Amino acid sequence: MRLRSLWLVGGILLLSACGSVPEEGGAASSATYPGSQTSGIEQQQNDRGVSTAVGVAQPGTQEDLVANIGDRVYFGFDRHDLSPEARQKVEEWAQWLQQYPSLSVTIEGHADERGTREYNLALGERRAISVRDYLSALGVPPSRMRTISYGKERPAVLGSNEDAWAQNRRAVLVVD
Amino acid sequence: MRRLRFSPVASRFCGCIALALLLIGSFRVETARAELRIDITRGQVEPIPIAIAPFTGSDVGTSDVGRDIADVVSADLERSGLFRPISRGAFIQQPETIEEAGPRFADWRAINAQALVSGSVERQPDGRLQAKFRLWDVFAEQQMTGLAYFTQPANWRRVAHIIADAIYKRITGEDGYFDSRIVYVSESGPAQRRVKRLAIMDQDGANHQYLTDGSYLVLTPRFSPTLQEITYLSYDQGAPRVHVLNIDTKQREVLGQFPGMTFAPRFAPDGQSVIMSMSRDGNSDIYSMDLRTRALRRLTNHPGIDTSPSYSPDGSQIVFNSDRGGSQQLYVMNANGGDVRRISYGDGRYATPVWSPRGDLIAFTKLLQGRFAIGVMRPDGSGERILSESYHEEGPTWAPNGRVLMFFRQTPSDSRGTSRSGLYSVDVTGSNLREVPTPAGASDPAWSPLSP
């Protein structure tokens, strides 16, 4: 009984968190990262610091992925299941990866700052594996994918607010 | 100043510190009145006013060392929150005359000292120093203890910490913790590309040195209970894996090559094995690895996240945190993985449990209503007490005497996205919260055992 009500609260949290999850896809402008205005952080870079040159991306590169599909999906607080939006994104990734069968990728799992370090490492790992497993189910060979968790060590966005946290609870597809 | 005690020669020498320890006889013995004593279990005790005279020397060199030793002893005792060192400017009796003729207790009562520490430093024919000290009960007018140590001149700070430990023990009845070190993660740079390095220092911040160069991410270092070794999480091979580092030789080695992430390591009390989490297909369970045979043993087998394991000091039980019940809570199991039982039942989530070296308490991080706290509870989950609370604090570690905790605290990001992380210590009673100064940002502290 106690457990049920906890899950109910979790569900409500998830819903409200989803409401603030940034809209994904489209061009890799600052509009991809709504938090960037409030945090004042230049977001023309992905997690590896690769500049996103809109419009000149070579097909099958990280720049291409970022510019034309988007390289990340978002998760609810303390969740690792894929939302409908995240599933749609992963499906686009699967199609994109089918186009470039020689590519291998790393899936990075990340958490927001509101957890303890070791737990967040495990949570980031779960998120990366959720993406890997769905890509695998969609036909991407597991041999082309590796996963890594950064826990809360590599936030995409600085800030101690719901908007920043929502953008940091993410999995990122990185072309090796 | 480089410590010499890590080479084999120095280790033997360090043994000499203890071996050469002498009990010094009293100047006088009088009928005792109520003995000077602090009950540190009560918390928020009024600090004892203590006069710590500069140790006298026979020449300029030994006089300087004598003053430095008194300074370190004074700082140790002050930081404990149990003592209030009296300014030397107020002293009436000159330190030299204490050594020659004993204290004039009326002079020390006049400046409200309840305890007095006096001592001397002498150079030996073989080049070593002999440091002697006496602790006096000013009201009872008698010596409480007196000890002498022989040491190489470079080792004077350690002798000062050992003297502070002896004073602490004589007055509180508990072992001290001043002759110990802290390993932690030094942080610099912006949060998105934070540079993290392993660093080690004496518990008072002296002898600070970096153990890694910051070219790869390191997290959660923990001391071996028996050797000059640290186990920690490192990304130096690209993927997060548990490593062991020898502090003396700086040699490091990954603990096993597994397909999944290994993390959250901690030594067993006998130092012969490491307990840690390993992730397989996204599921984290707890394993122990024998350091000699490298045999791996699985201790939990559950779809939930099982992590942050810590042994009881007798090695018979393990506390860990798991979300197997729906949210992160603390569980205790037998060392073989059997008889798992939940111990945390308060509001909120519980994480990073660490068993006290005394065995009587488990320290933890608590997450409640968007804030973080450090607390303690008994191993059966009863008697929960919160010691400190803020926007974000995490990762308690015990002083070797089980009476003081250290942890790290992180401020929320300001408008420019900057947040600061630093170390703090607090008594197990919740009093005497202090920031521990470090050269840069700091997190993940781990307290060493008392130095060998």
Q: Among residues of chain B, what percentage have pLDDT more than 90?
A: 83
DSSP letter at B24 equals P
Instruction: Considering only the beta carbons, identify the residue of B325, B351, B392 that sits closest to A113.
Output: B392
> What pLDDT shows up at residue B307?
97
- Cβ of A118 and B220 within 8 Å? yes
Residues with Cβ within 8 Å of B36's Cβ and at least 6 positions away in sequence, in order, are B48, B114, B115, B137, B139, B140, B144, B171
Q: What is the pLDDT of residues B125-150, one digit of tens each?
A: 999 999 999 999 999 999 999 999 99
Q: How confident is the model at residue B256 (pLDDT cuts 50, 70, 90)?
A: confident
Mean predicted confidence (pLDDT) in B153-164 = 96
**Average of per-residue pLDDT across B153-167:** 96
H/E stretch holding B217 reads none
Looking at the domain assignment, is residue B3 inside a domain?
Answer: no
Same-domain status, B295 and B210: yes
3-class secondary structure, B116: strand
Contact A115 B367 (CB under 8 A): yes
Same domain, B90 and B130: yes
Q: Structural domain of residue A90, as residue ranges? A: 2-175
State the residue range of the domain holding B292: 181-447
Whole-number pLDDT of residue A21? 45
What pLDDT score does A26 carry? 35
Mean pLDDT of B339-344: 97
Q: Which of A79, A82, A118, A161 to mutate to test the interface with B (most CBs of B within 10 A)?
A: A118
Residue contact B264–A118, C-beta within 8 A: yes
pLDDT confidence of residue B257: 84
* Rounded mean pLDDT, A120-126: 97
Task: Using the 3D structure, point to which of B132, B149, B172 is the last residue of a domain.
Answer: B172
pLDDT by residue (tens digit) across A133-148?
999 999 999 999 999 9
* Nearest chain B alpha carbon to A165: B413
List pLDDT tens digits, range B394-449: 999 999 999 999 999 999 988 787 889 999 999 999 999 999 999 999 999 999 99
Q: How far apart are CA B194 and CA B187, in angstroms?
A: 7
Do B212 and B146 lie in one domain? The reply is: no
Considering the domain architecture, whether residues B127 and B220 belong to the same structural domain is answered as no
B242 and B197 fall within a common domain: yes
Q: Is the pLDDT of residue A25 over 70?
A: no
> Which residues touch B291 (CB under 8 Å, ≥6 apart)?
B244, B255, B271, B272, B273, B274
pLDDT at A163: 94
The ipTM of this complex is: 0.90
Q: Say if residues B244 and B256 touch (Cβ distance below 8 Å).
A: no
Q: Looking at residues B155-179, what average pLDDT do you find?
A: 96
If asked whether residues B264 and B329 sit together in one domain, one would say yes
- Contact criterion met (CB below 8 Å) for B433 and B413: no
In chain B, which residue's Cα lies nearest the Cα of A142? B281
Asked if residue B316 has pLDDT above 90, the reply is: yes
The number of folded domains in chain B is 2
Q: Is B281 on the interface with A (CB under 8 A)?
A: yes
B261 shares a domain with B213: yes
Mean pLDDT of the region B341-360: 96
Lowest mean pLDDT among A27-31, A91-95, A151-155, B307-311: A27-31
B46 plus B191 within the same structural domain: no
Average pLDDT for chain B: 91
